[in-house]
Amino acid sequence: MTPRRSSYLVTWLAVMAAVAAIAVFAGASTADEDPKSPSEKAANEPPVDKKPEAKPEEKPDPAAKVLAPRIEAVTEKEQRLRAAGLYRPEDRSGPALRGYCPVAYIVNREARRGDSKYSSTYGGQVFYLSSAEAKEIFDKYPENYLPQFDGLCSMALGGMFGNRFDGDPEVYQVRDGKVYLFSSQRALKSFTESPPNVLDEAQKRFERPLLHGYCPVSLHTEKKVVKGDPDYRAPWRGYMYHLASAEAKEEFLKDPSKYAPAYRGFCAAAVADYVKRVGKEEIVRVYGGRTYLF
């Protein structure tokens, strides 16, 4: 081997030895610094505070922008009328039949005032009976003594326009064991002179459910439109409602005013403008715990 090649070989061997020494030193240093495995290191590291995941923002109800000012306007209107002593509640207030005893019409053949100490609750309404005996009779067979059409004027409901006027508990007629109320003596006279199909027409109109037969309870509890069942129907303040089940009917009768449409089904927006316009039952909205038609 020539002297030059020998010199190259020695130099190469020296370089390789130096590289090996550096590698050994580096490995030893790393082991000395942290002999733990990556998993052990992760376990011993202080926890990192994670920011809570942001909840998706609730989208504002677009209908609320329209409903809120209208409903506020109606509320202000009611307050002004109350202050002036001119407010007339949208629904019947106080006991059913204005406190008259439903049993007296049939048993005593007269309109007789009931007594609050002989009260009974049925169908979401409070009835005053005239005596303990009358209360006992009513509690056993309430359906037999309730006025027809939930106390609406029979002539107005069965007449040409099908109006839903409240009957006067002092203006009535008992026919075939059933009590029919009338809004005035004139209405009663017209009824006696009218053809017999007036009652049939009144019955047909009364049985037609509000909300197109959709269950008013489901609008609140399930937040959706559910078709009611005629087998679970219930009258309230002159209108018939179809409930989706026996449970829904029971819930409805606990507090009908909670589930029945406000303003007797008149358009809430129109009422705010001092106009009575029948709301469309397919345009319904639950807002602030009440049902509104538009």
Q: What is the pLDDT of residues 1-56, one digit of tens each?
A: 555 555 555 555 554 555 455 554 445 444 444 455 555 555 555 555 555 565 55
Give the pLDDT mean for 78-83: 64
The confidence score (pLDDT) of residue 225 equals 86
The confidence score (pLDDT) of residue 263 equals 78
The confidence score (pLDDT) of residue 279 equals 73
Chain centroid offset of residue 186 CA: 39
The confidence score (pLDDT) of residue 224 equals 85
The confidence score (pLDDT) of residue 269 equals 74
Q: Cα–Cα distance between 257 and 124 in angstroms, integer? A: 9
The confidence score (pLDDT) of residue 285 equals 80
Q: Where are the domains of the chain?
A: 96-196, 210-293
- Which residues touch 77 (CB under 8 Å, ≥6 apart)? 271, 272, 274
Q: Cα–Cα distance between 117 and 130 in angstroms, integer? A: 9
> What are 228-236's contacts with CB under 8 Å, separation 24+?
233/207, 233/209, 234/123, 234/124, 235/123, 235/150, 235/206, 236/123, 236/124, 236/150, 236/260
Residue type, 271: V
Which of the two residues, 282 and 109, has the higher pLDDT score? Answer: 109
The confidence score (pLDDT) of residue 31 equals 45
Q: Sign of the C-alpha dihedral, residues 112, 115, 116, 117?
A: negative
Instruction: Assess contact for 98 and 181: CB atoms under 8 A.
Output: no
Range in 180-184, 217-221, 226-230, 245-249 with the lowest mean pLDDT: 217-221
Residue type, 282: E
Q: Could you tell me the two tokens for 11?
A: 């130099």
pLDDT at 191 over 90: yes
Which of the two residues, 172 and 212, has the higher pLDDT score? Answer: 172
Given the structure tokens 């005596």, which residue do they identify?
131
The confidence score (pLDDT) of residue 143 equals 94
pLDDT at 84 over 70: no
Number of other residues whose CB lies within 10 A of the CB of residue 52? 6
Per-residue pLDDT band for 94 (boundaries 50, 70, 90) equals confident
Q: Cα–Cα distance between 90 and 223 in angstroms, integer? A: 25
Which of the two residues, 189 and 66, has the higher pLDDT score? Answer: 189
Q: What is the pTM of this model?
A: 0.69
The confidence score (pLDDT) of residue 63 equals 55
